[in-house]
């Protein structure tokens, strides 16, 4: 019976190989992710931002979309995501929204930053107040913005997520 | 000549109407977003998580993907994104990756939290160290994780993003 540690090593090594291959095959950035349930692979994903004209097509998001499509669900409880690199805030957010149970990664955001990726910059931006962010940000019509939530509360047929 | 303020109000009001309609039509959560360039709408998006089995299909991400598809690009410089609600960390990350220039929103993450959405929780989780997060997280094989970045640095044909 393989240990959890050896299983984790196996899937992380596979994600690293996939990420290297993704670069060599000109598919996109140096990232790959694998979603596993009961030690079986549900879906994999690599970074295909530049080849699909989709800035959200990071490895983890690609894997989450593929896994959900395969399982016909929008929630991936009891699944582990293995990523060749620490997820950026977008992908970490997606992991929470998908309700994945566990995250294992190899390289971290500092290594990603050294290779020219904005992960660390975006983590820092998120922590700033709106006025201090590089992204010009303003909030208007806050009260009117309550209307969609009002409609949501009043909708008895809503499907929560 | 309309002022920027009146233009912003117009698009935010439209996003709020779209978000209300999205709920009434059972398309998904109470959120909508509009991407605008030179005061013209490039694309819109609503939350379609539950109707498309895609936990990443938030309004902003749907709008970004649609705008990029329309403009055949993975970068949306000189575009503004109008969102009926403050973007969650996933969507804020996507806004940075898409290089949007400006963000305008109405409701904020506290209002979203009161309506039952995890935005605020996820913002708090991101700020915690790995060990303190609800998501079970571990980093392994950090050194091996450098291999994809090594391949990236050595690839003269890479397309950066």
- Interface check for B3 against chain A (CB to CB < 8 A): the answer is no
CB contact under 8 A, A136 and B9: no
- Cα distance between residue A71 and residue A73, in whole Å: 5
Q: Residue B14: is its pLDDT beyond 90?
A: yes
pLDDT band at A113 (very low <50, low <70, confident <90, very high): very high
Instruction: Answer whether residue A37 shows pLDDT above 90.
Output: yes
* Polymer length of chain B: 161
B1 touches chain A (CB under 8 A): no
B73 three-state secondary structure: coil
Under the banding of pLDDT at 50, 70 and 90, the label for residue A125 is very high
- Confidence class for position A118, pLDDT limits 50, 70, 90: confident
Q: Do B64 and A55 touch (CB under 8 A)?
A: yes
- Predicted TM-score of the model (pTM): 0.96
Check if the beta carbon of residue B58 is closer than 8 Å to that of residue B65: no
pLDDT at residue A158 greater than cutoff 90: yes
CB-based contact (8 Å) between B32 and chain A?
yes
Distance CA A28, CA A22 (A): 6
In this structure, the dihedral spanned by the alpha carbons of residues B56, B60, B66 and B68, taken in order and rounded to 10 degrees, is: -100
Helix (H) or strand (E) holding B54: none
Question: In Å, how far from its chain's centre is CA A80?
Answer: 12
Taking contacts as CB-CB distances below 8 angstroms, the residues of chain A near B139 are 86, 104-106, 108
Measured between beta carbons, which residues in chain A are less than 8 angstroms from residue B3? Answer: none
């Amino acid at each position: 019976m393989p240990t959890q540690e050896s299983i984790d090593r196996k899937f992380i090594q596979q994600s690293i190989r996939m990420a290297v291959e993704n670069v060599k095959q000109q598919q996109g950035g140096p990232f790959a992710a694998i979603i596993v349930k009961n030690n079986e692979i549900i879906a994999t994903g690599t970074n295909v931002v530049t080849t699909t004209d989709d800035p959200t097509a990071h490895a983890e998001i690609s894997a989450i979309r593929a896994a959900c499509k395969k399982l016909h669900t929008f929630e991936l409880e009891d699944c582990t995501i293995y990523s060749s690199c620490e997820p950026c805030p977008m992908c970490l957010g997606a992991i929470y929204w998908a309700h994945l149970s566990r995250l294992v990664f190899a390289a971290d955001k500092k290594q990603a930053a050294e290779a020219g990726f904005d992960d660390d910059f975006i983590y820092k931006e998120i922590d700033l107040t709106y006025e201090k962010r590089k992204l010009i940000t303003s909030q208007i019509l806050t009260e009117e913005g309550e209307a969609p939530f009002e409609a949501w509360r009043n909708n008895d047929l809503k499907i929560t997520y």
